[in-house]
Each structure stands twice: as C-alpha cells, then as structure tokens.
Amino acid sequence: MTEAMENELLQELQQKIGYTFRNPKLLRQALTHSSYANEGKKHGRNNERLEFLGDSVLSVIVAKHLFLTYKDIPEGELTKLRASLVCEKALDVFADQLDLGKYLLLGKGEELTGGRQRPSILADAFEAVIAAMYLDGGYEIAQKFVLGFIPRDLDIHKATPLADYKTALQEIIQQNREEKIEYVMVEEKGPDHAKIFTAEVLLNSNVIGRGEGSSKKQAEQNAAREALRLMGYDL
C-alpha cells in the first residue's frame, strides 16, 4: 500500500468516526499490527501499547455509563453487563460496524491468512483506536466514540446484548440437526483497498440470504440478517 493510499484511508476512517486527529500518527499507530511493524523499521511502532491503554479507557467509559443509566441494577448484574460489552466478541462486532479491518496495516503473512477478519486483531485495534482518541482529544472524545456503539435497548437480563446475525441464524437452524448452513462468497469487486464482497448463506444447498459488505465477515453477517428477516424474525 502506498503512502498516498494510507493517507486516503486514514481520512476516510476519520470521517466515519466523526473526529479529526490533531496528530494523525496516533491513529496510524492504532491501526498498525505488529506483523506490519516487524517487516521493517520504517513502519514504526505497532498498536500493542495503545491497545493496553484503550482496554482501561473502554472499561471506565462502559462502567460509568452502566452505573449512571441503570441505577437500580445490583453490582453483580452490572459486572456481567459490562463484561458483555468489553469482551472480544463485542469489540469484534463494534469494529465490524466501522469496517475497521479495511484500514488495518498488516504484514504480508497476516494479510494472506485472513488477518483483516480475525476477531482478536479487530478487537485489539478497536481498543487502540479508543486510546488514540483519548490521547489526542481527551476523555470526552473517547467517551462519545464508545457510547455510539452501545445499544440503547440493552436487555439487562442477558449478557449478550449485541446483534450477531450469524450466531442467531445458527442457533435457529441447529434446532433441527438435519439442517446445515454454509456461507459462500459469490462475488468480489473493486480495487484492493476498497473491495466489495457478496456472500450467500445456503440452507441444505438452497440460498436463503444474500448480503454485501466491504469485508467477507460483514457480507456474511448481512446475508444472515437477510435470511432471518425473510424467515420472519423481527430485527
């Protein structure tokens, strides 16, 4: 990826998150995986230290939000709810909403093995972005960013408040052991830095949903969402 392409992607991401960095190098570092940084000294620092800080900032923001919003909920329930919002699965969903994988700087090996869709990498990068915003703009900026991903209609009796359409569809299909679903990429278009993927979800070889996305994971989630909608489930 050329420097011009990197700068273009950084600008695009800043538009998505609604914040312009005074120090864009912080955002670039937040998106730099260790595999990329290790390919040569010219690539600079990776996002691991920022991920460490972002984890703590995220926890404080979510804890404060839950404490002030759900005033009659006991500590034990608040703890479970917070855990559900800061775990890898939740952060992967948040990152997917931003299509964060598109903006990552990955080493060649990580790129070839699907690093842009790997939940652990996306979750760490999301936390690193939080830290970058915190360092660049302060707590209020980071808080506004994080709370934009927290659903307003949290089910306080469940520890899984986030929409994961693939999991939801799988749980429904598994009720009948004879049924089987699979996801197939049927189309890939656009330049390398701005690809659009199209996925279909098949039930026993029959197409039951189709979706597009700027990552394979996002396309599969959208295909599952369409399948659920066509099956009559309220999304």
Q: Among all residues, which ones are annotated catalytic?
A: 55, 127
The structure tokens listed for 228 are 């659920």
The structure tokens listed for 217 are 């994971």
The structure tokens listed for 137 are 């703009």
